[in-house]
Amino acid sequence: MDLAGETAPVAATFDQFWAVYPRKVGKTPAKKAWERATKAMKMNPDDILAGARRYAAMKRGTDAQYVAHASTWLNQQRWLDEDGAASDEVGTAYVQNCEAVEMLDRTKLAHQNRKQILQRTREAMWPSIEEAARRIECKAAELWDCLLPGFDGLEAKAWAAACNQDEMPEHLTISRELWLSARDRLDSRKRSIAIKRLQAA
């Protein structure tokens, strides 16, 4: 409470922003962008909220594909636009640029998810990999490397799972076909090494 006995006004919140923003897509990245703008960059949240209201009014009745994702709108500081957008020609180009940025963000996230899936798969399946390696007399790390490549390999499976961000598995399982494919790949590598040694002798 200040000296006059009045309570200081409460700054606008992300929930208020999200309630008025005209496109409800990507709430989590939008919240991160809001936090970055209001806390890290010290932007006035009330100004952002006012800008979002102007943008929502301007885009009322517009197809959703021509409305920027909230995270992009925040990252580009679009609340500073006087009228919320430029001309139709520039606006269309901007929307296309927003979509490109969103695609890059999704691709980056997919790469991170793919790496995590592979790491969790390695941890979960390592006892089975060690046992299989013992049976075929090779190192577990070598067998793991042979499980990764190929259209049916773990790398391809992890990428497919990472792109489906709504239903990502905790880890992947290794099918019988993949075990056999990895063993064939391992045998092929051994033959190649043996041939090179013979040629070098």
Q: Express each pLDDT in 56-110 by its tens digit.
A: 988 888 888 889 999 999 999 999 876 544 434 444 444 456 666 777 778 888 8
DSSP 139-173: -HHHHHHHHSSSTTSHHHHHHHHHH-TTS--SS--
What mean pLDDT comes out for the span 127-152?
94
Q: Give pLDDT, residue 9.
A: 64
Residue 1 has pLDDT above 50, yes or no: no
Q: What is the DSSP letter of 87?
A: -
Q: Give pLDDT, residue 86.
A: 44
Distances in Å between the alpha carbon of 80 and those of 44, 116, 173? 11, 38, 50
Q: Give pLDDT, residue 23.
A: 93
What mean pLDDT comes out for the span 112-136?
94
What mean pLDDT comes out for the span 156-160?
92
How wide is the angle at C-alpha 174 spanned by C-alphas 162 and 125, nearest 5°?
90
Q: What is the DSSP letter of 122?
A: H
